[in-house]
Amino acid sequence: MSIVNKAIGDRRFKIALAMTLALLTVLLVPAHSAYADIAGDINNWLAELLRDAANWMFSKQVDVLKGIGYDGILGADFSSMLTTSGSVSMYDIAHGVWRVAILPIGCGVLSLVFTVKLIQISQRVDGNASMPGVKEVVFLLVFFAVFLFLIQHSFELMQSIYEVIGIAIDRVMALFGTGGALDLAAVSIVTTDDDIPALLAMLIVSLISWVVVLAAYIVALVVCWARALQLYIMAAFSPIPLAFMALDDTRQIGVGYLKNFTAVCIAGLIIVILLIAFPVILGGITGANPGTGTPVDTVANGLTYALQYLAMCILLILSLVKSGAWARDIVSGF
């Protein structure tokens, strides 16, 4: 007993006994399997982050392109296409130039045309045919009065042509709005897969497409602003070509002017159609799957989709630039 009492009283024995009891207590606790898929968790988190970033950038790019021009320029009245912070607008400048400077010139050109036609009539009249000569002079006076009225109201006439096309633009916008929504998850496998290389490629292309979309945004604004300026300038100078319409030899000058002005107005309708159709066309883009059964399929699918998106953005820029030429081609067929 003395040996046992001595062992129990030993400090080292007490420490060993305590450690043994602690170990047994730990062993009696119900065991749980450790979570060892740390790499997979990181992969899923990173893939979700990249996917959300790419989808967000693509969707915001479409939102930027949707709100380019209708509310600010394309759908505005003729008097407010270009806004101003002061009391004088571009409309006031154009109308003032038309009234003060160009309208007198147009009336002078019409007077010259009237004189030329009167000389032509006098050359055809002889002493034995006075009545036909008087009849032609009366017709000439009526002709002069009609064209004088057109020239004096030429600015309002151009504004009326713009408003007719504006009605068509308003009806198109009421029918289709700003275009369809772009559902990236439905058109691209890359937005649902967790393949990091494919998502990185998608993110890189989305960043590049941001630059292209910004370029498209700038081009669209420049085209819309240039169209507004061109309409104001053409309306201001309208009396001169309309005066030339009164003479047979120069009638094509006035006809060509009216066609060009109408084409510039129709270009606004073409721009609206392009901006409406762009998200709809993007919604139909799908990636190309090589069908190799390897991870390369996912990467190729994502890259082909993203590159098609980039190509569509470039196509939008070219279409906006060519909208005026397309409008002239349409009018030239009339």
pLDDT at residue 190 greater than cutoff 60: no
Token digits of residue 212: 């292209």
Q: Which residue has the higher pLDDT, 63 or 50?
A: 50
CA 194 to chain centre: 33
Residues 253-270, mean pLDDT to the nearest whole number: 92
Which whole-number Å values give the CA distances from 35 to 38, 101, 134, in the listed order? 7, 85, 109
Q: pTM of the prediction?
A: 0.73
Residue type, 30: P
Tokens 């569509």 correspond to what residue?
312
* pLDDT given for residue 290 in this prediction: 58
Token digits of residue 142: 């009526």
* pLDDT given for residue 188 in this prediction: 47
Mean pLDDT of the chain: 76
296: alpha, beta or left? (left if phi > 0; alpha if psi -120 to 50): alpha
Residues 75-92 pLDDT 10s = 788 888 887 767 888 999
Q: Which residue has the higher pLDDT, 105 or 3?
A: 105
> Range with the lowest mean pLDDT among 93-97, 133-137, 225-229, 270-274?
133-137
List, in sequence order, the alpha helices (H) in 192-294. Answer: 196-236, 239-244, 251-283
Residues 283-289, mean pLDDT to the nearest whole number: 65
Q: Which residue has the higher pLDDT, 184 or 19?
A: 19
Helix axes 251-283, 296-332, angle to 10 degrees: 160
